[in-house]
Structure 1
């Protein structure tokens, strides 16, 4: 993955932690904590239409690997959970077979989540206000770039998106008329690497 904006993400370097993260309910739980703030297992279960013991177990597993943690509650009786970082990242340049396999497993799960959310949006898109139908949607662009140029480009995009981070945790920062929007980033090289580049590693930093 590209270089992150400092302080914005928690980087996972342990394949065991990455495999623990690659679970549909755990990813939904972390997404919920990040978008709505700290909450108890009971509250999370109600939001996700799941049962409390199941959510409690998976929140503990997320805490075990550093993705979530307990915080003080308002009434001092039940301590809610919160996400430890706004985002999660991992390296895709590891030569460790276990890390490669764990990253592929997580990437496959994420792709399935993205496709499902896109399908959910299409199912209701006709009922969206015109201004939102115009602003949202799908598209793609073909580029001819080197690997280092691509990293620079995605880093620039990440820095631009980071300008809106404070609105995630502070509702007061959200302007009137704003709503949650999921921006999916898929960077998909096409074709094969030229033989000369494979031998020489000509585009390595």
Structure 2
């Protein structure tokens, strides 16, 4: 992994950290810090329609596990928080029961958060300019691919999205008229796992 990749992402490798991250408010807090931070617990509570003690507690928990950190404040009083990296990653290929349970828990919480994001958008969609209504929205495609092809496709999508990373880190690079857009990736296999195909190369 390159130094740049290390700076961009924090990888979760143990069940305890995965479970610590798997909390709806913590996911929303870290998403807020990555998008609009740094900010104080008071500012975060106002943005998320929550209370300050609750946000303060969960920000400290995020800091405990390396997701967030304090930075100097402008007035020397309440110090704001910032995200330590732009992304969080983890592997879903472990056969360890504790890891499988922890990743399942995190994926379930993330799905609920993503659904809430979509519902929040639908609640205001009618007031959006027509060009944004036409550009945004939902869609799906049913593909017939192998596991290797699916992984390759996911990596290609990740590389495509990475083209816009510099705009997240540097507001000066954001073109006029741009705004934050949440791209949510879901690759959900349908149907049973196919049997292993061991046909001879000479078989038609």
Q: TM-score, normalised by structure 2?
A: 0.89
Given the alignment of the two structures, is residue 39 of structure 1 paired with residue 39 of structure 2, yes or no? yes
Q: May I ask how many residue pairs the two structures share in their alignment?
A: 194
Which consecutive unaligned segments of at least 5 residues does structure 2 have? 199-204
Are 2:138 and 1:138 aligned?
A: yes
- Counterpart of 1:52 in structure 2 is 52
| Alpha-carbon shift at residue 78 of structure 1 (Å) | 3.0
* 8 Å Cα contact 1:36-1:169 kept in structure 2: no
CA distance in 2, matches of 1:68, 1:13: 17
Look up the SS of the partner of 1:69 in the other structure: strand
Deviates more, 1:124-133 or 1:104-113: 124-133
**Cα displacement (A) at 1:139:** 0.9
* Bigger Cα displacement from structure 2, 11-20 vs 76-85: 76-85
User: For the residues of structure 2 that align with 1:83 and 1:36, how far apart are their CA atoms?
Assistant: 10
Q: Determine the structure 2 residue equivalent to 1:64.
A: 64
Distance (Å, rounded) in 2 between the aligned partners of 1:39 and 1:91: 30
**In the alignment, what sits opposite 2:126?**
126
Deviations 1:55-75 (A, max 9, x none): 111111111111111122223
For residues 153 and 85 of structure 2, the distance between their equivalents in structure 1, rounded to whole angstroms, comes to 23
For residues 107-122 of structure 1, what are the structure 2 equivalents within 5 Å?
A: 107-122=107-122
Question: Which is bigger in relative contact order (C-alpha 8 A, separation at least 6)?
Answer: 1
Q: Which runs of 4+ in 1 moved over 6 A?
A: none
Give the RMSD, CA atoms, in angstroms: 1.7
State the shift of 1:39 in Å.
1.3
CA contact 1:37–1:169 (8 Å) conserved in 2: no
Measure how far apart 1:17 and its partner are: 0.7
Aligned with 1:195: secondary structure?
A: coil
Q: Which one is further off, 144-153 or 188-197?
A: 188-197
- Write the distance in 1 (CA, Å) between the matches of 2:92 and 2:54: 31
Q: How far apart in 2 are the matches of 1:81 and 1:122?
A: 30
Q: Deviation at 1:181?
A: 0.7
Unaligned runs of 5+ in 1: 200-205
Deviation per residue, 1:41-93 (Å, 9 max, x gap): 12212222222221111111111111111122223333221111101011000
What corresponds to 2:88 in structure 1?
A: 88
TM superposition score normalised by structure 1: 0.88
Q: Name the residue aligned to 2:23.
A: 23
Question: What secondary structure, in the 3-state scheme, does the structure 2 residue paired with 1:99 have?
Answer: helix
